[in-house]
Chain A
Amino acid sequence: MLLSEVSLHDPVFRLAPLVIFLPLAGVILNLLIGRRLGELGAGLIACLAGAGAFAVSAALAFGLKSSPEGAIVLIWRWFQVGNLDLNWSLKVDTLSVTMMLVVSGVGTLIHIYATRYMHSDVRHHHEPGRYTRFFVFFNLFLAAMMVLVSADNFLMLFVGWEGVGLCSYLLIGFWFEGGEGGLGNARAAKKAFVVNRIGDFGLLIAIFIMLGAFGSLEFSRVFAAAPAVTATAPGVVLAITLFMLLGVTGKSAQLPLFVWLPDAMAGPTPVSALIHAATMVTAGVYLVARSQPLFVQAPLAADVVLWVGAITALFAGTIAVGQYDIKKVLAYSTISQLGFMVAAVGMGAVVAGMFHLITHAFFKALLFLAAGSVILALEEADHGHDLQDAQDMRVMGGLRSRLPVTFWTFLIGALALSGLVPLAGFFSKDEILVAAQQKSPAVFIILLAAAFLTAFYMARQVFLVFFGRPRSGAAEHARENPPLITVPLIALALLSIFGGVLNLPGVHTLEHWLEHSLNVTPAKFVLWIALVSLAVLAAAVTLAWLLYGRKPRATAREADPLAARLGGLYRALEARWKVDEFYSWLVVRPFERAAEFLSSIFDLKLINGLGDGLGALVQSLSTAASRIQNGFVRSYTLVFLVGVTAILAYLLLR
């Protein structure tokens, strides 16, 4: 489609490319002059780039209010060869702009927080020169994420998809000399990239099939042709959606490819908040929502999506119960909540999934940032340097009075996540539960169990971190962080409280907003389900209080009260069901062994040996042949004689 053919109902849509180019300008500016500007300048550039992208997204949203059908905005033609005809062009519709708002809005708040957090972090690592680099990567992430959510074809989406993966790699390994044995962080980064590439393999195959079946990768053409293609070849769309699901399990950390996300916590905490909780990991949910017309044609694939999401939600929730690392608990919680979203889009409750995506971005970003605030306070109060691990919840305790803003905002985040009425999470989770109950009782029960675990591990975390007495010197002396840290926390806390307004029962603002981009089924509010979920919440919190709140842990060393009661089961949770070990046995070691065999035996001995052996054979043959030419006239005469005799004999006896 040429630019002239695109009808731009509203000239504001022409601004759309700025959502990519503003963060990109931040990258380039900081690359060129960031170090000379110093921390203030570099941080300001990065924040302004994010805020600018948010302003543009907001302008686009206002444009969509008057012309909700949106527009396609061409940047430039990418390439054409054979059947492939691709543009860099943006799809401005209510779905993509929703994502843009979340990414740039939450993203900017996290940028602001990071200007202060990284100030301390680079000093903690004795590398003050690396401050600018962080914001280069951070802005690059925003740009890549914008490419992902604004693409109007699957290949451009894939560019953003792998682009955010790269930024994830760079930021997990930001302290590339740190971690276990000095290589822990680098390994975690590599693991994230490679596991994601396994998922991307699926997405690529889906794209190849799509190209063959539809002759195009543009959303509008693919979606328009989906029913016709399904009518003639029902397997095609099924194959596309199933391979796409592999990509989703990679990026959104679902079973079986979730294993990279917990390790990704090696990145600085703002990275965990922005990339590994609020935005990037939700890309898989966005992809399924965007591809709704395909999943509608492949109910089987949609069911698989549903089950993958539901089982992941429960599975990751169990692991979160057994973790002591403040960020790891949140990481497994993120996997579990992503499972809720994936299950929602899988059961066709796309609006509910998107709703939960948004509210989760608020409260999970909040929780991570508040956790970061705790870690920062502990590190700064750790004057004696006797703290082994500032993320270990066992050395915390009693921080409620010492970090009041952090405590209250964390508590709000935890309650919003657990689904307390009327906080944001209550409404979005309720919508998913209602849809699940209508779809299948089994899924409903699984998700309810996951919700129970959510409330339980969050309450456990709150009790361990903020209640009781401080269990280390650092916790004892911890003090609240400055406003650059706490103000973003307060902003996100407000969003976590009021975020439910976006799609209140009976009003359904988000639903009516998204119905211009998606096929929506009106959500219902079912009182008994809301009451059941609140009862589950109350039960979980009570149980956590009995175990962790009533008699708080007194020292850092003592065992978890659950360990005595659950025994081996608890150890399995603590060891994360040994999934990593299983994959190492199933994939990593066979791979290493095969590579070793091929390189040091097959290639070196056989293939190289054959060539060398051939050479040696020729050499020895020629050595043998050259012996004949030994320079003795006597032997030449002998040969001559034999020859002449033979010829004469032949002539005579013929």
Chain B
Amino acid sequence: MQTLLHPLVLTTFFPLVGVAALLLVRPGSARASRWIALLTALITFGLSLWVLAAFQRGSADLQMAVNLPWLTIAGVEIRFFMAVDGLSILMVLLTAFLVPLAVLSTWTAVQEKVRGFMIAFLLLETGMLGVFLAQDLVLFYVFWEFTLIPMYFLIGIWGGERRVYAAVKFFLYTMAGSVLMLLALLFIGWQAGTFSLPELVAARGIFAGAQIWLFLAFGLAFAIKVPMWPLHSWLPDAHVEAPTAGSVILAGVLLKMGAYGFLRFNLPLFPQATKLLAPWMAAIGVVGILYGALVAYRQKDMKKLVAYSSVSHLGFVVLGIFALNQESVAGSILQMVNHGLSTGALFLIVGYLYERLHTRQMSAFGGVWKAAPLLGSVSLVVALSSMGLPGLNGFIGEFTILAGAFNSALPAARWLAGAATIGVILAAVYLLHWFEKIFLGPALKDEVKDMKDLHWREGFIIAPMLVLIFWIGLYPQPFFDLINPTVSRLLGLLP
């Protein structure tokens, strides 16, 4: 009982309470399902704030650990081990923050099989929270794979026209990476006789000989999830077909699991391999920045544009992680949050536009700012946040990453960071292009002229994101206070 009331356990598994309640509801009752899901998600967010309140700032250690024996296989113990540090807590907060907003966004958008949708959504939340809190490799793997299933159904059942293709593609790409990770983690578990991450880090010398292969095996799973170029091609399809709420969570949280994985496992477990491969990883990150931006510019479907912009933005995160210094890694972690906010908000806006005109083709729009001034202004702020306008959140992340990378020990650091900085120009190109296509120019079509402005519920969903967009831009220090000690500890583990 005590374990169940542990803040981390309670936060992670509370969505299951909502699932249980949903199972008691009549399958057809959409209203009740929505309210149960929303309430559950809100309470989970409250619980995550409780974790934050109990979290000791300034400490780099794992905190609030719950560590219990679970199973023993072939003499190696698998433990139910959860704990939180500066890296985890931000991801937990981001997840618990975005899920209720995503649930709210389905209020009118999802009309069929609402109960099933909500069950899948809450299961997904438990899976994601577990990923960010697990400190045992097997437990982590269970949560990691578990997130696949509800997301598969969210795309495959509530998605667009090519939903089955997209869902299968999403599943297969991710699975392909995960299988190698499973082999690698079983290997190191048996070698070291434990699956507990802190113990493995202490014993990492045992499997140091194979660490390049291990880095690559773990890294492939994470790289697909991020997604790093050229493993990204599942993402545009998944986004295009996923319902709005699914896209918000996919971009906002699921992609972060990849970047999180690099920081949580590859850096501390395989330090020499990390150092050795960092230049390549950083270079691929830079390719992703430029490539994603160029391809995003040519998209005609809004969701694809935002999807490719994610490839570009997460390239910054990868560059920051593998530039391996305090500024760049801390910037990457903050940028994970920033991307969740601004890209999440972009997908919401795309959803709003879709609900109005029932198309995502940019050519169908034009002049929307005139018909819907508030929607236009909010979208502009979100686009500016995404393109890293100083004073908003994206700038802080990108600047710290680039400033760190520029002065890092990477070979050709200045060239890499300089090329990445070109991505800042390109972001303005594709985002202003999008804004112009949708919102500027004369409103010629009748559907656009009669378009409704932001509904209060839509505004209510996006308002908390806007608050954070400004907050992180103007006063990011509280976030860095959480991140800095953990980053120092992580970097201290490198040779």
Contact = CB atoms under 8 A, between A and B. Distances in A.
Given A177-B441, A183-B440, A186-B440, A198 B432 contact: no
29 contacts: A81-B400, A81-B484, A82-B327, A82-B330, A82-B404, A84-B400, A155-B399, A159-B390, A163-B390, A163-B391, A176-B441, A177-B440, A177-B441, A177-B442, A177-B443, A182-B367, A182-B441, A183-B441, A190-B436, A193-B428, A197-B428, A200-B424, A207-B403, A211-B407, A595-B295, A599-B299, A607-B233, A615-B169, A615-B172
A158 B400 CA distance: 14
Given A163-B391, A193-B432, A611-B234, A595 B480 contact: no
B327 A84 contact: yes
Contacts of A607: 230, 232-233
Given A159-B390, A599-B294, A82 B325 contact: yes
B298 A596 contact: yes
A256 to B, nearest CB: 15
Contact of A194 (B326, B417, B429): B429
Interface in B281-310: 291, 294-295, 297-299
A587 to B, nearest CB: 11
A514 interface: no
Residue among A190, A599, A607 with most chain B CB within 10 A: A599
B205 to A, nearest CB: 29
B294 A197 contact: no
A598 B391 contact: no
Interface of B: 169, 172-173, 230, 232-234, 291, 294-295, 297-299, 325-327, 330-331, 367, 369-370, 384, 389-391, 395-396, 399-400, 402-404, 406-407, 417-418, 421-422, 424-425, 428-429, 432-433, 436, 439-444, 474-477, 480, 483-484
B432 A190 contact: yes
Contacts of A163: 389-391
B436 A79 contact: no
A79 B402 CA distance: 16
Interface of A: 76-84, 88, 155, 158-159, 161-163, 166, 169, 173, 176-177, 182-183, 186-187, 190, 193-194, 197-198, 200-201, 204-205, 207-209, 211-212, 594-596, 598-600, 603, 607-608, 611, 615
Contacts of B331: 81
Contacts, number: 141
Given A163-B391, A166-B384, A611-B169, A177 B403 contact: no
B437 to A, nearest CB: 9
A81 B330 contact: yes
A608 B232 CA distance: 9
Contact of A208 (B234, B407, B429): B407
Chain A interface mostly helix, strand, loop or mixed? helix
B425 A197 contact: yes
A197 B173 CA distance: 37
A495 to B, nearest CB: 32
Contact of B402 (A82, A190, A208): A208
B163 to A, nearest CB: 16
Contacts of B476: 78-79
A599 B298 contact: yes
Given A190-B433, A194-B425, A80 B441 contact: no
A599 B296 CA distance: 8
A613 B396 CA distance: 41
B233 A608 contact: yes
Nearest to B444: A182
Contacts of B172: 615
Q: Which 6 A-B pairs have the closest CB atoms?
A: A82-B326, A186-B440, A599-B298, A212-B407, A208-B406, A159-B390
B291 A598 contact: yes
B436 A211 contact: no
Given A607-B230, A611-B233, A598 B477 contact: no
A151 to B, nearest CB: 11
A158 B473 CA distance: 13
Residue among B384, B389, B417, B441 with most chain A CB within 10 A: B441
A209 B443 CA distance: 46
Contacts of B418: 205
A78 B475 contact: yes
B440 A84 contact: no
Contacts of B370: 176-177
B231 to A, nearest CB: 9
Nearest to A191: B432
Contacts of B440: 173, 176-177, 183, 186
A198 B291 CA distance: 18
Contacts of A600: 298
